[in-house]
Amino acid sequence: MGAVFTQLYPPRPTFTEKDVPSLVGKVFIVTGGNAGVGLELVKMLYLKGGTVYIAGRSASRIAAEIEAMSAIPTDTPGKLKSLIVDLNDLSTVSPCVSEFLAQESRLDVLWNNAGVAQPPTGAGTSDGIEAIMRINCLGAFLLTKMLLPVLIKTAQSSPGGSVRIVFTSSGIIDMSGPPGGIDLAELVPGNYSKDASRNYSASKAGNWFLASEFDKRIREHGIVSVAQSPGTLRTKGWDRAPWSIKVSMALFMHEPKMGALTELWAGLSPDVKLEDGGRFAIPWGRWHPSPNKEILQSLKTKEEGGTGLAAQFWQWCEEHTKQYANL
């Protein structure tokens, strides 16, 4: 219970935008960066001089936020650019990556910030995959994998551990969800749970699984891959939640900017080292003091005494995204 309490009532942040040095020359991608936590993070990066790509579904919404942010007075304005991608439609990921690579030859940090807690209207597709898992995990997996070459290239000329991939998870994995984080049987089309909260928790455990599995594959290149829970925040993600849940959680909700500080810490804090790859950060920028033991077992291979569930989930993601990798 202590692990839950410390996330609902976090201590004061020790790393804020005031601690971030100039980001001139640095390039970032923030998925879902046109609203909520992502938007607050984009502002912080932009005001420090960074080149920030806002990746999202709506060109008009992104354009509106770029116009609004460009009007903010600052001595070191960065650059704001748009990337169109719909993580519910995996066929849009490859064109998004191509558009980015046509403009940039480096990528310092990828924040996989976008996600959903409730299935969006019309989210079902012919693949039969549960929508929350498709958006939160398959979309983030495919985007990250396709950007690996430019991340690796950037790491070759950057200080070790400064190039990073940040997956957005949630504190819900400490409170509910399938044993071990994910039930692979529920990933079979037509067999997924009808409980949106269970599916959401599974997808957030999946985000940690992916952070850990990417770490195993790219740490040798000097890249840090971590997961983080931004906190319980007043964002539109709660709009479709039952009113009873909204009322019960109201006392624990914080402003989106606080969640952005968690993401900022995971992506830019010097306290995050290369050897921290695969770890789980909690509000407002610190490592989880007592992670879910069943999930920790899932992260370990069978040779390490674990269940190997995270590796199996990686393979599931590979299988269900391979057709979109070279569109």
Name the E strands within the chain. 27-31, 51-56, 79-84, 109-112, 163-168, 223-228, 280-282, 286-287
Q: Are strands 163-168 and 286-287 parallel, antiparallel or unpaired?
A: unpaired
In a domain, 139, yes or no: yes
Express each pLDDT in 150-188 by its tens digit: 999 999 999 999 999 999 999 999 999 999 999 999 999
Please state the domain count of the chain.
Answer: 1
43, 81, 200, 257: which is the annotated catalytic residue? 200
**Of 48, 204, 236, 246, which residue is the catalytic one?**
204
Pairwise CA distance, residues 132 & 106, whole Å: 30
Q: Provide the CATH number for the domain around residue 197.
A: 3.40.50.720
Question: What is the per-residue burial (b if ≥16 Cβ within 10 Å, else e) of 87-105?
Answer: bbebebbbebbebbeeeee
The model's pLDDT over 196-215, given as tens digits with 9 standing for 90+, comes to 899 999 999 999 999 999 99
Active-site residue, 200 included: yes
| Torsion, Cα of 269, 272, 278, 280 (10° steps) | -60
Q: Per-residue pLDDT tens for 90-111? A: 999 999 999 999 999 999 999 9
Compute the distance between CA of residue 87 and CA of residue 126 in angstroms, rounded to an integer.
15
What is the span of the domain harbouring residue 59? Answer: 1-8+18-324
Does residue 13 sit within a domain? no
Going by C-alpha positions, the residue among 181, 172, 27, 200 that lies closest to residue 111 is 27
The answer to whether the Cα torsion of 257, 246, 4, 314 is positive or negative is negative
3-state secondary structure of 117: coil
Judge whether 48 counts as a catalytic residue.
Answer: no
Instruction: Tell me the residue type at 147.
Output: L
- pLDDT band with cut points at 50, 70 and 90 for residue 313: very high
With bands split at pLDDT 50, 70 and 90, how would you rate the model's confidence at 119? confident
Would 200 be classed as within a structural domain? yes
Within-domain flag for 91: yes
